[in-house]
Homo-oligomer: A and B are copies of this chain.
Amino acid sequence: MSTGHTSPSARKSRIASTMAKAKIFTEAAPYIRAFKGKTVVIKYGGSAMTSDELRDSFAGDITLLSLVGIKPVIVHGGGPQITRAMSQSGIEPQWVDGLRVTDSETIRVVQSVLAGQVNPDIVRLLSGHGAVAAGVTGIDGGLFKATPKDERLGFVGEIESVDPTLVLGMLSQGIVPVVAPLALGADGHAYNLNADTAAGALAEALGATKLVYLTDVEGLYLDLGDEETLLSRVGITELESMIASGSASAGMVPKLRSCISAMRAGVPQAHILDGRVQHAVLLEVFTPEGIGTMIEPR
């Protein structure tokens, strides 16, 4: 018979500290209720994908979302890894009007890095935190069909159609889909997609409730160079002005365009989050404070 090992006073102090935890849990309740059963598409990239600490906090967040009944879908990119693999393979980049050409040799490296490195690494990462995750490329189950974006660029795809059947099947089994931004062309070739665009198109097709971009900036600035002008909320008409006026950075433009398109198609919320902050996703979903920039359909 094992008696308690702690004195009454020690028990009281321990209880006080755990009660603080309980308070935090119960504060999260309204947010869990609001997103239960809802789909949240998260574009995962940048520092959040490269720093070990941030990778772990990301994986913990996704696992917890999945556990409490929210349905996260991860779309990842892989730019830096592709660049590294190409230089290792000794492939000389080709340029047309300042844009990199994805020839048949290059698309094989892209496919190999996205589907063979980045994607299974994320699946293992999530599995290690207790989630049930599975990798999907846009070629699987006819998820993304693409046409060439510009013939001179080679196998760079423009999304033509999205068939979310396979992803929906996984979500109904409680599996977290991890999606690589590849597509099948009508010519039977693999095409590379912009991951930001793929995330937006998938959010639309899934009828997602949130579209989240994890970035390496704090959010959207009204004035690109000025930290003091971080926007906490912004409407899509304002985004259009920013794109038109050139006040959004080049890397931000596909994200903003995707947000505008997704919202027009009925996705009610989008977010530009700072992926350099640990637990950015969880904080956005579970706490009243919010972080980064929230985009609204106005």
> What is the chain B residue whose CB lies nearest that of A233?
B2
Interface positions, chain A 5-23, Cβ under 8 Å from B, are 5, 7-8, 11, 14-15, 18-19, 21-23
Say what secondary structure dominates the interface of chain A.
helix
Interface positions, chain A 23-46, Cβ under 8 Å from B, are 23-26, 28-30, 32-33, 36
Check if B111 sits within 8 Å of A120, measured CB to CB.
yes
A130 within 8 A of B: yes
> What is the chain B residue whose CB lies nearest that of A15?
B277
Q: Which residues of B contact A277 (CB under 8 A)?
A: 15, 19
Q: How far is the CB of A175 from chain B (nearest CB, A)?
A: 6
Check if A279 sits within 8 Å of B22, measured CB to CB.
yes
A169 within 8 A of B: yes
Q: Which residues of B contact A98 (CB under 8 A)?
A: none
Q: Which residues of B contact A137 (CB under 8 A)?
A: 120, 123, 135
Check if B19 sits within 8 Å of A278, measured CB to CB.
yes
A166 within 8 A of B: yes
Check if A231 sits within 8 Å of B4, measured CB to CB.
yes
- With contact pairs A108-B117, A130-B33, A136-B134 given, residues A279 and B124 touching in the complex (Cβ less than 8 Å): no
Chain A residues within 8 Å of chain B by Cβ, number: 94
Q: Which residues of B contact A278 (CB under 8 A)?
A: 19, 22
Q: Which residues of B contact A142 (CB under 8 A)?
A: 127, 132
Check if B190 sits within 8 Å of A282, measured CB to CB.
no
Q: Which residues of B contact A166 (CB under 8 A)?
A: 134, 170, 173, 175
Q: Which residues of B contact A63 (CB under 8 A)?
A: 26, 29
Check if B232 sits within 8 Å of A29, measured CB to CB.
no
Q: Which residues of B contact A132 (CB under 8 A)?
A: 141-142
Q: Which residues of B contact A113 (CB under 8 A)?
A: 112, 116
Q: Which residues of B contact A234 (CB under 8 A)?
A: 1-2
Q: Which of A146-154, A203-211, A261-269, A285-293 contacts B (4 or more CB under 8 A)?
A: A285-293
Query: Which residue of B22, B89, B128, B188 contacts A57 across the interface (Cβ within 8 Å)?
Result: B22
